[in-house]
Amino acid sequence: MTRSTAPSPETPLPPPKERRRLREALSLSEAQVASAVGVTKATVRAWETGRSDPRGRRREAYAKVLARPLPSNEASAADTSSEPAEATTSTAPAEATTAATPPAAVEPVPVSVADSVSTTLAPSPPPAPAAPPATAGLTPAEAFDALYAHAAPDLVRQVYLLTGRQQLSHEAVERAFHIAWQNWPKTAQDRDPVGWVRAVAYELALSPWHRLRPANRHPESPPLDKAGRELLDALLELPPPYRRTVLLYDGLGLDLPETAAETEATTPAAANRLLHAREALAERLPHLAATPEALREQLGALVAGGPPPRPAPAATVRTTSERRAWFWTRAALTVTVLIMGATGMTLATAPTRYVPEIAPAQRVGGVPGHAGPPQLSPQQTVLRDMLRDLPGSGPGKLVPQIE
């Protein structure tokens, strides 16, 4: 018998952005691709965001799914996706990031919305923030401190635009870095560590539980100029998903697939959110309705020059994260020991056989109670005394005789 060889792990795959675009062009959901390859939806999402890559047979099956025939209007994109990821990332033109918007026939998006996407979102967004400093040769603590010093001030400004509260923005960013330090090997190996922390900070800041805090019941006065206050008030009136989408795309300069991936939405859904958010901002601020560049310029200036953040020192963040992790670890161990002790005490004191319980006494109505003879009347008493005085033999008895 001959043993079949496994497929080569070097099967060429398109880059992560192109994988998502090809899947949506084929009208396939993440669940359908996961079922075809034999993985979970989270794994497919990780492949499309670049957090991991398939290997072995799954890599070959995933490549076959993405290599299905595309419509004629997607032929040029399919040629680009068939090249290896390394060659595509090095030779693809700059317009490739903005060409990932799928047509209206791919997803159930209205035609008017698709036309607006093609005309409104065609200009390339502003450049993304600079990459974090290189961390080669640094210890984990030094690499974390470098990432924190590079990203924390900007993240505080961004979260402030999402919430409008300075204290909440600082707490969300510090908590996100706490989680990043607790998962530091995973965070350090991510293709975009700043994006990893940013996604966690946004989720923590937009949690609906913050509404229950007494400090968040009253609005704050933003330390911005008049134009900045007007734009911030207009942003805070948007729904949280719209607010986050317009901040990522117009404020940070992410392209549409990256914005959709970070907000956990499809590309058409992210495009719809962006268009509706722009329309709402244009109604509130008419001077931003002229061109999308006006919104990008003002929002980018607000992101870069917002209120001066005062993040805690990196060493304090690391120490707090370790103390928090140690506290919850001890709490979990304590609860586990208490449960084990209670279980052992129960096993030691529990009876080894079943002993039926004696039912408690109850009052029963309608049944006469136990009592002696009734009290005699005066006539009955005289009769009793008379009977007692008679001789013991009593009067003679009549005896029948035979004649």
Mind listing the domains of the chain with CATH numbers?
Answer: 1-84 (1.10.260.40), 140-312 (1.20.140.160)
Query: Rounded CA gap, 310 and 148, in Å?
Result: 12
What does the buried/exposed string (b/e) look like for 67-84 if buried means 16 or more CB atoms within 10 Å of the residue's CB?
Answer: beebeeebeebbebbebe
Question: What's the start-to-end Cα distance of the chain, in Å?
Answer: 130
Token pair of 357, please?
A: 């319980």
Low-confidence residues of the chain, pLDDT below 70? 1-10, 70-136, 290, 306-308, 368-370, 372, 391-403
How open is the CA angle 308-309-315, to the nearest 5 degrees? 145
Query: Rounded CA gap, 271 and 121, in Å?
Result: 8
Q: What is the largest CA-CA distance in the chain?
A: 153
Query: Rounded CA gap, 198 and 286, in Å?
Result: 30
Query: Rounded CA gap, 365 and 9, in Å?
Result: 87
Query: Rounded CA gap, 203 and 208, in Å?
Result: 10
Residue 19: which residues within 8 A CB-CB, separation 6 or more?
13, 47, 48, 66, 81
Phi, psi torsion values for 3, nearest 5 degrees: -90, 130
Token pair of 97, please?
A: 């990031």
Query: Rounded CA gap, 138 and 140, in Å?
Result: 6
**What was the pLDDT predicted at 392?**
59
* Whole-number Cα distances in Å, 310 to 125, 189, 228, 305, 313: 29, 28, 20, 14, 9
Query: Rounded CA gap, 301 and 253, in Å?
Result: 12
C-alpha torsion sign, points 284, 286, 290, 294: negative
**What was the pLDDT predicted at 10?**
62
The answer to whether 80 and 88 have CB atoms below 8 angstroms apart is: yes
Chain mean position to CA 222: 29
